[in-house]
Chain A
Amino acid sequence: MKALPWVTLAACFAAAIAFTSVANDYYVFVMATLALTAMVGIGLNILLGLSGQVSFGHVGFYAIGAYTVAILMVRLKLGFWIALPAAIALSALTGALLALPALRVRGPYLAMVTIAFGFVVEHSIVEWEDVTGGQNGIMGVPKPLFLGEPLTERDIALGAIVLVALLLVAFSRLSRSSWGASMRAVKDSEVAAESVGLNPIAIKTLAFTLSAACAGLAGALFSPLSGFVTPSSFAFLQSILFVLVVIVGGAGTVSGPLIGAAIVVLLPEVLAGLAEYRLLFFGALMLGVLWIAPEGIVGEVLRWVRRRREAVRSTTSAGALPGALRAQAALEVDGLTIAFGGVQAATGVAFKALPGAVTSLIGPNGAGKTTVLNMLGGFYRPDAGRVKLGARAIEGAPAWRIARAGLARSYQTSQLFGSMSVLENLVIASPERAGTQQAAESLLAFVGYRGDLYARAADLPHVDRRLVEIARALATRPAVLLLDEPAAGLSREDKAALARLMRRIADAGVAVLLVEHDMEIVMGISDHVVVLDAGTPIAAGTPQAIQQDPAVRSAYLGEDQGRPAARRGAAAPAGPGLLDVGRLEAGYGAEPVLKGIDLRVATGELVAVLGANGAGKSTLMRALAGLHRPVRGEIALEGENLTRLPTHRVVASGVVLVPEGRQVFPELSVLDNIRLGAHLRDELSEADVESMFERFPRLRERSAQRAGLLSGGEQQMLAIARGLMAKPKLLLLDEPSLGLAPTIIRQLFAALDRLRDDAVTILLVDQMAGLALALADRAYVIDGGRITAQGSAEEIAARGALEKAYLATG
């Protein structure tokens, strides 16, 4: 079964060779052109398919190869067998040189650098007349001598076909080798590649060099085949056709460029009889092929095959952490400080993570935890402070060096190499870049991964991504392991398993540094807890000490911040329901985050939704606002079904979300932000704007300023004002107090209290459970994607369920 593609390919090549041996001169030449185009395509595939870099200048390398051979053979009378390696070497060298500017740019900027390169080569050929023959090129390039006899076009065509076959095998081996895997790793996630110790610059330069060498080889054969070289054979359009070869065939696939070359070369021949209408039809047919197979023909076929493949599971059983560890080392952090555009994101962070212990870094959202991890991992360069791994200072070093020094990490949003298999993800991460499959399998067993070993990482369910990412981090054999919210979005059972896993990793002698919101995990497995608030450490100690620390309680629960007057709420909604949510399910990928939410909001109510981070609160809000689609179940506003509506239609029907993190339009003025809120209303009444200014007087003072310059609290007020401008029937507020100072939070909640008095119907999600409950009529508590408690605000506050959910007390 696995050999079938290779058998098919071998049969194709045998047929091509047989056909070329007997065909007339026209078909021989077409076959040779096809082979040369495929060669360039295979080379470009290294760049585009493996390392993810685009080049619209490959005709430049092709031209360099062709002209080197022509010049050496015609001008210097050298033999082909000397000219050929020279041509390949010169192309490869140019490729390596082009990589220098090309590595500094990405996306459209990279495209432009390569386009410019192609033009520089083409015009240099035109103008360097003494050597290149200028516009008229070089005629009469002799055929190569082989055993004293000149080769015929047929010989060259056959040789080229054999070379293509060899290049395909070589590409396939490269693709599966550690270098190929490194290229794909860089393509999938440059960040993660660095964090397993790969140096993207070296890898991309290699890809450019190899790719250019292939194009140079094809060019070197082109010269004697056609017998002439002129600049017009190396025009920009040819570069586009080369990219087309790879994209139509399927970038990254082994046989893609072959299929692509066949289409790009043979299709015009089939259409030749159309004479002047050929290009018209060629363009239209290409558009058609792209519509049918946007991932390329081979890419689409593979996708289809993948869906049909049987899963392969490991039989290795779990045991102790396999593989030898490096020498144990502690991570010592002292005075770590960084600011972004004047905002102090971390100030004087200091702690010590010891081998064999779990050290947790906790704090409310926006406290700077991930920023600290990014400084430790080398993605941000700290403004001040020291980081020592064992005896070695690592602050400010590039990420891949830090990774090689023994610090591994996982990410908040999974950064697996999505196009690679689970096994490949681990193999590439091992320090020798070619860890054995055996070692990888036992690591996967150790972390508790039971899935398909050959599944593409991008297709994994959420929980498996977490596990594989941890396994990959372990594959680097780290002394220190940083884990960024590994439990987010996991079910209760999975969380428990994860907690045990982290403990086992620590017990094996690794220093584990954990950033996590789930307090049950943190308090359950930590040896030492460090609490950050607004970028500053506010407490450190054992879990028990932290749970009782008043500063921590205040930062987390918003206690003792002066509650607004509590309002008497009813246990069930009074009056007719405005919003009815029934059996709502939503998720990312295979794993649902919301597992059947039932919820009602009546007109004029303020309802709070509470729960720990990762419980599904934000997903609920996004689902209600139409940002998260598709969802199952029912969302009805006054009987109108919203489940299938896109966001702008949901807004039109009267549900407006004030999103987490404010999301104001930073370059627009405050006034423009407010006015945009009324985008869907035909009449824009200045009186409405005025009423917003009355409600939030600070905004009036700042009305002409760019919203990006406002403070966090002002931005939050602006976001709420913007939401109110739509005159919503229901206002959804997602984490309005996030990252704000206590005094600002008090002002904000006072403003929300006034809204409540103005009979605006509100559904509120906030970390500050105490404040939210003080304001709300009723509340729901979500845990693990389900409603676990509901009732009047007082009932919920009294039950103590919250403290358990938030701080894992009791």
Chain B
Amino acid sequence: MLVVSAIITGLGLGSMYGLLALGFHVTYAVSATVNFAQGSSMMLGAVFAYTFAVRLGWPIAPAAAMALALCALYGVIVELLAVRPFARRGSNAWLMATVALGIVVDNAVLFTFGKEPRGFNMPWATGSIPVFGIGVSPLQLLIPAAGVALAGALHFYWRRTRGGKAMLAVVQNPEAARLMGINVPRVISGAFALSTVFAGAAGILIAPLFNVHSDMGTVFGLKAFAVAILGGITSAWGVMIAGVVFGVVEALITALLGSTYTQILSFALVIVVLAAMPNGMFGRAEVKKV
């Protein structure tokens, strides 16, 4: 029972880490840069959805859609303000710039949205259904499903649509992609939008289980980065799987050894795994060329 409940907990959290990590993967694959403040993107998704659905009373579907659209816009802004000016000059100061922008956004939300955590109560999220004799929130089942669905949607987008294939082309060979007439800067900008949409979706999904406040994303963003790296940031399915594995391992450590060891062991595992597999669990080694 302990193990089963831990696995269910881990699956829900892990898929959410996976979604956030997928966001890291998308931008890294296309541009070798990431938004280090991905947690802020997640928080924005939840805050926007709360604002529309609860404060303005919209039905959840348009509220979530609108929130994701705003997230996409935020992704474009991140790339424009905190990544492009540096990446263009070959400087790695985007590392710091995205963090700084995240601080600005977190604090701006603190003063506009409010300082109190708010409950995002959705009727379909509360209640408990028995699974293997354990009470589970419907949302805990929905999150892994939504995670897989979104990863699948990404897969479909990449494999079946023109825009998606253009993005894949940029991933595989930016120069040849330009020769196809693909506007590479726009694709990178689009990748950041997509990345932020994934983070926003994770935020909206987790909000009813959790709560909504300006600081809610920080820890998740960090763990998601660990997951992205563990999975091998170059592999989409790799980061998704790593997310689930990380979530389940974390919950199992808590359940079996006690919460005292959760943080130490999970981060120590990160170091050990990376020392053994320097390109993550599913990442590909870069070919050394002279």
Residues of A within 8 A of B (CB): 54, 100-101, 104-106, 108-109, 111-113, 115-117, 119-120, 123-124, 127, 191, 236, 240, 243-244, 247-248, 276-277, 279-280, 282-284, 286-287, 290-291, 294-295, 370, 374, 377, 379, 411-412, 415, 625-627, 646-648, 651-652, 656-657, 659, 663-668, 672, 675-677, 679-680, 684, 722-723, 726
Q: Which residues of A contact B92 (CB under 8 A)?
A: 54
A100 contacts B184, CB within 8 Å? Answer: no
In the complex, B155 has a CB within 8 A of chain A: no
A282 contacts B103, CB within 8 Å? Answer: yes
A108 contacts B104, CB within 8 Å? Answer: no
B100 contacts A104, CB within 8 Å? Answer: no
B271 contacts A665, CB within 8 Å? Answer: no
For chain B, residues 5 to 46, give those with C-beta under 8 angstroms from any C-beta of chain A: 28, 34
Chain B: interface residue total (CB-CB under 8 A) = 63
24 contacting pairs across A/B (C-beta < 8 A): A108-B228, A108-B229, A113-B270, A117-B267, A236-B222, A243-B96, A244-B99, A247-B95, A277-B107, A280-B104, A282-B103, A283-B104, A287-B100, A294-B89, A370-B290, A647-B179, A652-B181, A663-B173, A663-B179, A665-B172, A676-B165, A677-B180, A679-B166, A726-B180
Q: Which residues of A contact B175 (CB under 8 A)?
A: 627, 659, 663
How far in angstroms is the closest Cβ of chain A from B231? 11
A294 contacts B264, CB within 8 Å? Answer: no
Choose among A101, A276, A646 the residue that contacts B274 (Cβ–Cβ < 8 A): A101
B270 contacts A651, CB within 8 Å? Answer: no
| A115 and B225 in contact, given A647-B178, A657-B179 (Cβ under 8 angstroms) | yes
CA distance A119 to B268 in the complex (A): 9
7 nearest A-B pairs in the assembled complex, by CB-CB distance = A283-B103, A101-B275, A651-B181, A280-B107, A680-B181, A647-B178, A663-B176
Q: Which residues of B contact A282 (CB under 8 A)?
A: 103
The total of interchain contacts (Cβ-Cβ below 8 angstroms) comes to 188
How far in angstroms is the closest Cβ of chain B from A133? 16
CA distance A646 to B179 in the complex (A): 10
Choose among B85, B182, B267, B271 the residue that contacts A294 (Cβ–Cβ < 8 A): B85
| A116 and B268 in contact, given A108-B28, A379-B288 (Cβ under 8 angstroms) | yes
B181 contacts A664, CB within 8 Å? Answer: no
A627 contacts B274, CB within 8 Å? Answer: no
Q: Which residues of A contact B168 (CB under 8 A)?
A: 665, 667-668
Q: Which residues of A contact B93 (CB under 8 A)?
A: 247, 290, 294-295
Q: Which residues of B contact A191 (CB under 8 A)?
A: 288, 290
Q: Is the interface of B mostly helix, strand, loop or mixed?
A: helix
A726 contacts B169, CB within 8 Å? Answer: no
B180 contacts A676, CB within 8 Å? Answer: yes
Q: Which residues of B contact A672 (CB under 8 A)?
A: 165
Q: Is the interface of A mostly helix, strand, loop or mixed?
A: helix
Excluding A101-B272, A244-B99, A648-B178, 14 further A-B contacts by CB distance (< 8 Å) are A100-B275, A113-B275, A191-B290, A280-B107, A280-B111, A290-B93, A291-B85, A627-B178, A659-B175, A663-B175, A664-B173, A665-B169, A667-B168, A679-B162
Q: Which residues of B contact A54 (CB under 8 A)?
A: 92, 95
0 or 1 for each of B248-290: is its CB under 8 Å from A? (1 = yes): 0000000000001101100110111011001110000000101
CA distance A505 to B172 in the complex (A): 43
CA distance A137 to B173 in the complex (A): 52
How far in angstroms is the closest Cβ of chain B from A345? 13
A286 contacts B100, CB within 8 Å? Answer: yes
CA distance A101 to B272 in the complex (A): 8
Q: Which residues of B contact A284 (CB under 8 A)?
A: 100, 104
Closest B residue to A719 by CB, please name it.
Answer: B176
B260 contacts A668, CB within 8 Å? Answer: no
CA distance A679 to B34 in the complex (A): 27
| A668 and B172 in contact, given A108-B34, A243-B95 (Cβ under 8 angstroms) | yes
In the complex, B67 has a CB within 8 A of chain A: no
In the complex, B82 has a CB within 8 A of chain A: yes
A244 contacts B96, CB within 8 Å? Answer: yes
CA distance A105 to B81 in the complex (A): 29
In the complex, B74 has a CB within 8 A of chain A: no
Closest A residue to B160 by CB, please name it.
Answer: A672
CA distance A646 to B177 in the complex (A): 13
B278 contacts A127, CB within 8 Å? Answer: no
Closest A residue to B33 by CB, please name it.
Answer: A108
In the complex, B131 has a CB within 8 A of chain A: no
Closest B residue to A484 by CB, please name it.
Answer: B290
Q: Which residues of A contact B184 (CB under 8 A)?
A: 648
